[in-house]
Amino acid sequence: MWNLFKGNFTAQRLKTYLMVEACVFWGLILACRLLYPAQNRFSIMTHTFSFLGSFDAKHNPRFWVFFTIALVLWGILTIPVVLYLHRRIRQSSPWAVWPGTLLLLEGCLGMILVGIFPDAHGKVWGDLMHTHVHQKVALMCFVGFGLGILWHGLLVVKDQMSWIPWGGKRVFGWKRVVGPYALYLSIFSVALYFQIKWEFVYTEMKVVAKASGTSIGSHWSEALNTIYSFPLWENILIYTMYIFLAWFSVAVLDKEEYL
C-alpha cells in the first residue's frame, strides 16, 4: 500500500487504481447530481461544477456533502498519480520535472480545499465566507493543474527533440502522449476563445443598450445559456482535466508495459 501511495505502480495496478478512483469519484458526483433538488434546476449552462456542493438553499442544501467527499478523495487519490508521473518523467528530465510535480501537487491541495470550503455563503470565521475561500482555492487548483500539465507537456516535447539541450532521450512514445494533449489543449483553447470573445460581445451589447435607452443584465447573467457561459466551459474543463490526468498517466507507461 505504501508503494502505491509513493506512485510505484505496475501497469496493471495503475489501470486498476485509475478505474477504482473514477468509479468512486464520479459515483459520488452522479449522486450529487441525481439528488440535487429538482426545483433548483441544475444545468451546466447556468451552474458551476461547485454548485453541486453548495449548501445554500438555492443549490444542494441536503446532499452537498457528497461533493465534499468526492473532491477531497480526488485530491488525495491523485497525489500517488502525480508521484508516479514524477517517477516516469524523471527518467527523461531528472531536475526539470520538479516544477511540474510541485504545480500538480498544488492542484491536488487546491482540490482538497475546494471540497472543504464549498461555494456557499456560510461563515468560516468572522466576516470571511466559505465562498470567498472557495474562489481562492479553486484558482489555486486550476493554476496548479493547468500549469503543471503544460510544464510536463514541454518536457515530453523535449524528450522527443534531440536538438534541444538534454533532449532526445525518447523515453516516451510520442504517438501515445499526443492524444491526451490534443484533447486538453483543444478544449482549453476553445474555452479561452469564447471567454475572451465574450468580453468584446458584452461591451458591444452595453453600447447598443445605452444608445437605445435600454438596460441589460450583468456580465455573468447575460452569458448564461449561451456559448459564452462561464459555467459551461468550467464544467467541460473539469471533465477534460480528469480525463487528461488518467489518459496521460497510462500513456507514459514503460513501452513494454503499455499494452
* pLDDT for 168: 61
Tell me, yes or no, whether 163 lies in a domain: yes
Q: Hey, what's the torsion of the CAs at 199, 201, 203, 208, to 10 degrees? A: -170
Check whether 5 has a pLDDT greater than 90.
no
What is the domain count for the chain? 1
Cell of 131: 465562498
Percent of the chain at pLDDT exceeding 70: 93
Tell me, yes or no, whether 257 lies in a domain: no
Residues listed for the chain: 259
The Cα 39–Cα 21 span in angstroms is 31
* pLDDT for 52: 96
* pLDDT for 104: 97
Q: Which of 80-89, 97-106, 246-255 has the lowest mean pLDDT?
A: 246-255
The residue assigned the cell 443549490 is 59
Outline where 36-129 has alpha helix (H): 65-89, 97-116
pTM of the entire predicted model: 0.91
Give the tens place of pLDDT for each residue, 111-163. Answer: 999 999 999 988 878 778 888 999 999 999 999 999 999 999 999 888 777 66
Tell me, yes or no, whether 232 lies in a domain: yes
Check whether 215 has a pLDDT greater than 70.
yes
Tell me, yes or no, whether 258 lies in a domain: no
Tell me, yes or no, whether 236 lies in a domain: yes
The residue assigned the cell 482549453 is 188
Tell me, yes or no, whether 19 lies in a domain: yes
Residue with the bigger pLDDT between 102 and 130: it is: 102
The Cα 50–Cα 20 span in angstroms is 23
How far, rounded to the nearest angstrom, does the alpha carbon of residue 253 sit from its chain's CA centroid? 22
Q: 120-127: which pairs have CB atoms within 8 A and are 24 or more residues apart?
A: 120/54, 120/55, 120/56, 120/59, 120/64, 121/56, 122/55
Give the tens place of pLDDT for each residue, 10-61. Answer: 888 999 999 999 999 999 999 999 999 999 999 999 999 999 999 999 999 9
Query: Rounded mean pLDDT of 212-225?
Result: 92
* pLDDT for 254: 65
Q: What is the mean pLDDT of the chain?
A: 90
Cell of 51: 454548485
The Cα 63–Cα 34 span in angstroms is 10
The residue assigned the cell 468584446 is 200
Percent of the chain at pLDDT exceeding 90: 73
Q: Residue 214: what residue type?
A: T
214: domain range?
2-251
The Cα 184–Cα 83 span in angstroms is 21
Check whether 259 has a pLDDT greater than 60.
no
* pLDDT for 129: 82
Check whether 87 has a pLDDT greater than 60.
yes
Confidence band for 195, pLDDT divided at 50, 70 and 90: very high
Tell me, yes or no, whether 256 lies in a domain: no
* pLDDT for 258: 43
